[in-house]
Structure 1
Amino acid sequence: MRRRVRSAAAGIGDDQYRAARPEGNPGQRQGFAAPATLCYQRTVAPGAGANKGKDRGTGMQVETTPIAGVLLITPRRFFDDRGYFVELYQEERYRAAGVDARFMQDNRSLSRPVYTVRGLHFQRPPFAQAKLVQVLRGSIVDVAVDIRHGSPTFGRHVAVTLSAEAGNQLYVPAGFAHGFCTLEPDTEVHYKVSAPYSREHDGGIHWADPALGIDWPAGPDRAVVSDKDRVLPRLADLGPLFHYEGGTDA
C-alpha cells in the first residue's frame, strides 16, 4: 500500500506537490510583494500553468511544475509475468524532455529511520550540480528550493513525493538547494549529478528555515538530522551564490 504524507496544515499525498513563496518578513526582504502559496496536482487545476503528463515525444510522462526547469518525470515500465523493465536514464530522450544537464556521477544513500532529513544541499560554482533524483526503495518527500538571485521564483520551492512504487523522478537544475525527508524505514535514494563532489564548494540551507515555508512531514522534534545539517545557515544569511540568467540554469 502506498503511504501518504500528512501534516497539521494539509494532507499531501503521492499525487500532490506544492511550490510556495516564503512567508512573512524574511520573504519580503528577499523582494516578494506578498506571501503566497501555489498548488499543483496531477489533476491540474485551471490556471495552474502546469503541463500534465505530456511525453514530449519521449515515451515518458513529463510534468512541469510552477518553477520553470524543475520537472517530474515517470519513465515507462514494460511489464510481463516476470516483473518489469525500465530505462532509468537515456541521454537523448531526457534532453528532449528538458533535462539538459550532462551527468558525470551517481550517488546513492540509505536512510534507516523514518523521517530522516538530508539537506538542503547545493554546491557553489564552478561545481554547481543539477540532479536527477529517484527512490529505489521506500518513499520520500523531495524538495527543491530556487536560490538563484534575480529569479522570479527565488526562495520558492517544489515538494513532491517520490517512491519506488511509483518509479517517478525529480529533475533539479543547478542553482537550487535540494533535500528530502524519508517516509519509510530503510529508504534508498539514487541521484545523478552533473558535477563531482567538491568539499570546498559544498554548501546548504537549514532544512527548517521558516522563511522557506516548507511543509515537511516531520518537525524538528521528530526529524532525524545530521549534526552538519543542524547548523546550516538560513537563506537570508547566504550571499548571492547563483544568479538568474533568464533560463533554468544558474
Structure 2
Amino acid sequence: MGIQNLETFSIPGPALITLATHGDERGWFCETWNARDWAVAGLPQVDWVQDNQAFSAAPGTTRGLHFQAPPHAQAKLVQVIRGEIFDAIVDLREGSPTYGRSLHVTLSAKQPQLFYVPVGFAHGYQTLATNTLVTYKVSDHYAPDCEGGLLWCDTGLSIPWPRPDDVVMSGRDFTWPGLAKLDSPFTYDS
C-alpha cells in the first residue's frame, strides 16, 4: 500500500492512513490497498467483501450518520476519488470510555488518504465540492434489516458540520434518533 503516515486518535480504533505517491512526468501512482502493508502497520485484519462508490453533485450533500448492526456490522475504509468531504464518526460501542464521542477528518482527492472506520461507529460525511466521488470498502454485505442511523445534527455529538444550514439529504436521514434515544447494538471489546 505504501503507507506514508498513520494517524490514530484519542478514540481507539479509527485511523487515517496517508498513502505514499510515486510521481514522474506522467503524474503519480499509489497503492490504495495492500494486505501486507496493512498488517505491517499494525492495523486489524479485516476481510473486505464489497467496494462501493457514491457520487454527489452538490456541495453540502450529507450522507449519514449510518451504521449496520450485528450480525452484519460493517467496518469501512473510505477514500475520496474526486472532490472533498468532511467525514465524521461517532463511537456507539456500549461500555467504551469514548462512547458518544465524535471525531472528524477532511478527505480530499488532492491527497490520497484512507479513513478506517471500525465496527461500532456511526459514519457520515458532507461534501465540500461539486461532483464529489467517494469510494469505500466494507467488511460485510448490505443487510436492510440491520440498517441503523443516528441523527446527523444531534447537538450533543458536537460535530462541526461545515454546511449545517445548506444540506442535500435523503429524507430518512432526518428521522434517525439522537444519541440519547439510541439503543446501541454494539458493545466495547477492550
- TM-score band w.r.t. shorter chain: over 0.9
* Correspondence for 2:89: 144
Q: 1:216 aligns with which of 131, 154, 161?
A: 161
In the alignment, what sits opposite 1:167? Answer: 112
Check conservation: 1:99, 1:171, Cα contact below 8 A: no
Matched, 1:240 2:180: no
| Unmatched segments (≥5 aa) in structure 2 | none
2:3–2:17 contact (8 Å) kept in structure 1: no
- Contact 2:77 2:116 (8 Å CA) reproduced: yes
The yes-or-no answer on 1:107 pairing with 2:52 is: yes
Letter paired with 2:97: P
Structure 1 length-normalised TM: 0.73
Once the 2 structures are TM-superposed, how far is the Cα of residue 96 of structure 1 from its aligned partner? 2.5
- Structure 1: which 4+ aligned runs deviate by more than 4 Å? none
Look up the SS of the partner of 1:60 in the other structure.
Answer: strand
Deviation for aligned residue 1:99: 3.8
Separation in 2, partners of 1:59, 1:213: 30
Q: Tell me which moved more, 75-84 or 92-101.
A: 92-101
Q: Residue 67 of structure 1 corresponds to which residue in structure 2?
A: 11
Match of 1:133 among 69, 78, 102: 78
Matched-pair contact (CA < 8 Å) for 1:145–1:156: yes
Instruction: Determine if the alignment matches structure 1 residue 91 to structure 2 residue 35.
Output: yes
Q: 2:62 aligns to what? A: 117
Q: Please, which of 6, 9, 20 is the counterpart of residue 76 of structure 1?
A: 20
The answer on whether the counterparts of 1:131 and 1:172 sit within 8 Å (CA) in structure 2 is: yes
Q: Which moved more, 1:93-102 or 1:233-242?
A: 93-102
Query: C-alpha distance in 2, partners of 1:84/1:66?
Result: 33
Shift of 1:235: 1.4
Q: Deviations over 1:64-117 (max 9, x none)?
A: 111111101011111010011111001121123214221110010000010110
* AA at the equivalent of 1:232: W
Identity %: 46
RMSD: 1.3
Given the two structures, how large is their TM-score scaled by the length of structure 2?
A: 0.96
Contact 2:82 / 2:108 at 8 angstroms: preserved in 1? Answer: yes
